[in-house]
Amino acid sequence: MHRTKVRVVEDALDANDTIARANRADFDGASVSVVNLMSAPGAGKTALLERVLARNLDGLRVGVLEGDVQGSFDADRLSLLHVPVTQLNTDPGFGGECHLDANMVRSALPKMPLDDIDLLVIENVGNLVCPAEFRVGEDARAMVCSVTEGEDKPLKYPLMFRTCSLVVVNKVDLLPHLDFDLDHFFENLDAVNPGVDRMLVSARTGEGVDAFRDWLVEVAARV
Amino acid sequence: MHRTKVRVVEDALDANDTIARANRADFDGASVSVVNLMSAPGAGKTALLERVLARNLDGLRVGVLEGDVQGSFDADRLSLLHVPVTQLNTDPGFGGECHLDANMVRSALPKMPLDDIDLLVIENVGNLVCPAEFRVGEDARAMVCSVTEGEDKPLKYPLMFRTCSLVVVNKVDLLPHLDFDLDHFFENLDAVNPGVDRMLVSARTGEGVDAFRDWLVEVAARV
């Protein structure tokens, strides 16, 4: 039973990569850079985007694809900033999946204003496991990790931390009130993804978010 | 493609329920009560168990089944308390799954000292989506939700909040430093699971954990 399951999973991942490449080609055709933004539930992806998108990004036109199991709470928040937001729910239609995959993103392409944006931020479903397994056609992957989650997370969810080229450490305004050991966290991070880019931010106070804004601008400039 | 996928998922869930019933029968045969404990990554399941298991639970003999994708960090922490802990990793062997299912728990049964415990706490993989979909043979489900995760989580992950008979709200020591609106959170909770049992705790300070200890004792007494 397990061997069958592993084979089915491998086939599914191969199929996913094929569709991810088709997405990539469509993004390239529209000259759109794409960031896949991931985190655990409540780590602050949306709050970070609210901070970053409230100001002009060097004239960059940004759109957001908002991935959730249900509802449109985050999309509603971001829409207030007059950013074009497309909602993509995994339930109904995709079995309530705990992640976005290339096919789901492909299904949302016709609804996205690709010709009117330069950068697409895909806010994935809050989950540290499966989102890391599915390429969706992105140029870069970033994750948000909150200091309230504990120092051990890179070791417990290594694929997620390994697959990202940027780790945004959020909620640093809470550090004085926590037992969180930042050095220990970075040791664990380097154990699974040595030297990966990292930045300390507080989406709540705005501290450090300029660095994430600059990173987005830099990703968009790569194309 | 989607219809096929939904059918495969439904078949898998039916098969899971059959195995969950077999687990249930084995737990009953050994007179062991079982709690399935779930949360997002870093919400504090292990810290809560550390607090609760550091003291005697009315003579109750407690064992823990520790579910993780990789590693044994939480099991190592709990072992220090001289609690019998069994590690169950979803990688390797179960494709790195983001949740425990009945078959995985079944595979771990021979390693668990069922004849020497009265209560088994299954600490599920940190994830607010898929763990809620898979019964493993438990008597009761509880979840830990941290106040740092935001008020919207019941609305964004309704199945998880709906499927539990207890919601433990953790990290309340941080409330003075957050914008978290507890009343708003409870409104959202009641919107998906009206009147569900809830308790406020801080695994860090010990505040309120006696209520969770009492709840575990009460679940064990039901058998």
> Do A42 and B73 make contact, defined as CB atoms within 8 angstroms?
no
Q: From the list A73, A157, A173, which residue is nearest B155 (CB)? A: A73
Tell me whether residues B148 and A103 touch, CB distance under 8 A. Answer: no
Q: What CA–CA distance (Å, rounded) separates B35 from B126?
A: 15
Q: Looking at CA atoms only, how far is residue B95 from chain A in angstroms?
A: 6
Distances (CA, A) of A180 to A151, A184, A186: 7, 8, 11
- Higher pLDDT, residue B113 or B9: B113
Between B9 and A72, name the one with better pLDDT: A72
The model's pTM: 0.94
Instruction: Tell me how far apart the alpha carbons of residues A6 and B202 are, in angstroms, rounded to a whole number.
Output: 40
Give the least confident one: A2-16, A53-67, A111-125, A191-205.
Answer: A2-16
Q: Give the chain B residue whose CA is nearest to the CA of A7.
A: B95
Nearest CA in chain B to A149: B42
A150 at B interface, C-beta within 8 A: yes
CB contact at 8 A, A121 and A65: yes
Tens digit of pLDDT for each residue in B10-48? 788 889 999 999 999 999 999 999 999 999 999 999 999
pLDDT greater than 60 at residue B221: yes
Closest approach of A218 to chain B, Cα-based (Å) = 30
More confident residue, B14 or A217: A217
Confidence of residue A114 (pLDDT cuts 50, 70, 90): very high
| Chain segment B131-168, per-residue pLDDT in tens | 999 999 999 999 999 999 999 999 999 999 999 999 99
Q: How many residues does chain B have?
A: 223
What band does A121 get if pLDDT is binned at 50, 70 and 90?
A: very high
ipTM value greater than 0.95: no
Do the beta carbons of residue B120 and residue B34 sit within 8 Å? yes
| B126 → closest Cβ in A5, A95, A128 | A128
In this predicted structure, the answer to whether residue A4 has a pLDDT above a threshold of 70 is no
Judging contacts by C-beta atoms under 8 Å, the chain A residues touching residue B128 are 41, 126-127
- Bridge partner residues of B85 (DSSP): B64
Percent of chain B with pLDDT over 70: 97
B85 secondary structure, DSSP code: E
Confidence category of residue B1, pLDDT binned at 50, 70, 90 = very low
Per-residue pLDDT band at A5 (split at 50, 70, 90): low
pLDDT band of A1, cuts 50, 70, 90: very low
Binned at pLDDT 50, 70 and 90, residue A3 comes out as: low
Query: What distance in Å separates residue B18's CA from the closest CA in chain A?
Result: 15
Among A7-16, A36-45, B60-69, the least confident range: A7-16
pLDDT band at A6 (very low <50, low <70, confident <90, very high): low
Does residue B197 have a pLDDT over 80? Answer: yes
Secondary structure string (H, E, C) spanning B191-213: HHCCCCEEEECCCCCCCCHHHHH
What tens digit of pLDDT does each residue of B70-109 get?
Answer: 999 999 999 999 999 999 999 988 889 999 999 999 999 9
Does the pLDDT of residue B184 top 60, yes or no?
Answer: yes
Substitution target in A88, A127, A147, A155 with the highest count of B β-carbons within 10 Å is A127
* A45, A46, A98: best to mutate for the B interface, most B CBs within 10 A: A98
A71 and chain B: CB distance < 8 Å anywhere? yes
More confident residue, A12 or A67: A67
Distance from the Cα of B142 to chain A's closest Cα (Å) equals 17
